Amino acid sequence: MTAGRFARRCGVRFAKLATWQLTAGAAVVGLALAAGSVAAAGPWDSGQRTAERDRAAALEDGGGADHGNPASRKDAADGTGGTDARARKTPAAAPSAPSVLAALGASTGSAQVPEEHALAKLLDPLLDSGSLGPQRTAAVVDAATGKQLYGKAAGQALTPASTTKIATAVAVLTAAGPDHRITTRAVIEPGSAKDAKVVLVGGGDPTLTARKDAKGNASLRTLADDTARALKAKGVDEISLGYDTSLYSGPLVHPIGLNSNIAPVSALMTDEGRLDDSASGPAPRSGDPAADAARTFANLLRDRGIKTETTDPSSAKATDRAEQLAAVQSPTLSALVERMLTNSDNDIAEALSRQAALATDEPASFDGGAKAIGKQLKKLKLPLTGAQFADGSGLNRADRLSASLLTALLARAADPDHPELRPVLTGLPVAGFTGTLRNRYADAADALGTGLVRAKTGTLTGVNTLAGTVADTDGRLLVFAFMTTGTTDPQTAQSTLDRAASALAGCGCS
């Protein structure tokens, strides 16, 4: 597709983009890393990664998971493409673009590094804006060398809000590994067929689904199918059913209290405890997601010819002697990390922090997860001065991160020696296209960043943050972090940060 044709299809706001920028946007998952270090595919090549290249790179109607309209978002937010693309009138996933990626990699290796004084001249007027409140910090780093090119109180730790999820992602990918999957099991305790006791054992998978279309997630229906089949093979058609959530410890409810942004954090839940058919964003939540999941499982077993003593299963701990009947597994952690970052998913974030805790012998709790994140980042020798972790999602205002730490995390994810961290970059929302940046970068002042800025957003009352990657006009990949505290007009503060990131995209500052 030509640059002009793409601009006409996607709107006039792209008119200012140069041809090479449109090409980069068309392969938006392709990161301009030094020396051509990124291949077109890799172990992190998930549905989200496919989704990110679709809208811009497709030859026909092409585009995928996170490019649907709001009405179809609940179908598509899982990163697998949702319902039929033609029915949604949104693009289907496009193939990868190895030639584009190779070109970007080659150009980055020879591109000039922006000059520090030129960056300061560009960013200072924006970041000194009164809309950003009394405290604002920033850092811009060359991804290839790790050198800081711009800093404004970069080492000062502020409330990061959801940019905390970048730290959570790095911690869990290094602690548990990108290919790790979370298992939900059904087991049977020793005993006679007349006294069969089955326990549904939660492994901490927040994406376990009870919906008919699992969309690539672990399915409670599949688990019920396999469990019923295994029971019948044993001559069992009536059981007592319990559920085990003992993998997690500590409080279930986040310190912010019951909230539509996060369910009680349980080792057993279906569909993130959502009480509607949504897949992302705020939603009414179950007060006891584990009990609800167990009740659903009991109903599914009854539909498959296995009676249960009660419609209300009780909490129970599976013994070491229990025999596994069936199991289902989540998508890989790399896929969960991408989904967490794209949609700023708090439920996945808290689940991943607990997976990091389990992998580092910490309790699977808010406190244990926070300790595990700090422990992993310390192992990576990242700049932790002033850093404090209180949760995995960034909902807790006690979290503290610096712009230096956020850029160091992103630079480490861009390091060719750490391919396991690539989902941290491929999962970042794309300006004007995906996730929490889908509806941003719509103004003329932000046009240069559309499709080129990939960044994690962070928003709490009085807090606005943005951290991510962008290639400048010379093709040099930069990582950046902008943090503010004390803002009173969140929309204006958000727009100012978007403008700063767009300024980097339009920078020929060498």
Q: 43 Cβ partners below 8 Å, 6+ apart?
A: 178, 179, 334, 419, 420
- List C-alpha distances in Å: 224 to 22, 139, 311: 47, 50, 15
96, 129, 131, 162: the catalytic one is 162
Helix (H) or strand (E) holding 458: strand 454-460
Q: Where do runs of H (alpha helix) occur along 146-267?
A: 164-175, 220-233
Residue 218 burial (C-beta neighbours within 10 Å; 0-12, 13-18, 19+): buried
Cα 397 to Cα 359: distance, rounded to the nearest angstrom: 26
Greatest Cα-to-Cα distance within the chain, rounded to the nearest angstrom: 79
Collapsing DSSP states into helix, strand and coil, what is residue 263?
coil
Collapsing DSSP states into helix, strand and coil, what is residue 201?
strand
Residue 280: active-site member: no
74, 131, 152, 165: the catalytic one is 165
280, 344, 402, 495: the catalytic one is 344
Cα 83 to Cα 71: distance, rounded to the nearest angstrom: 12
Residue 116 burial (C-beta neighbours within 10 Å; 0-12, 13-18, 19+): middle
> Under a CB-based contact definition with an 8 Å cutoff, are residues 39 and 101 in contact?
yes
Residue 89: active-site member: no
Cα 188 to Cα 302: distance, rounded to the nearest angstrom: 17
Q: 350 Cβ partners below 8 Å, 6+ apart?
A: 206, 254, 262, 265, 366, 369, 391, 392, 393
Residue 495: active-site member: no
Residue whose C-alpha is closest to residue 57's, from 49, 472, 79? 49
Cα 171 to Cα 354: distance, rounded to the nearest angstrom: 11
Known catalytic residues?
162, 165, 344
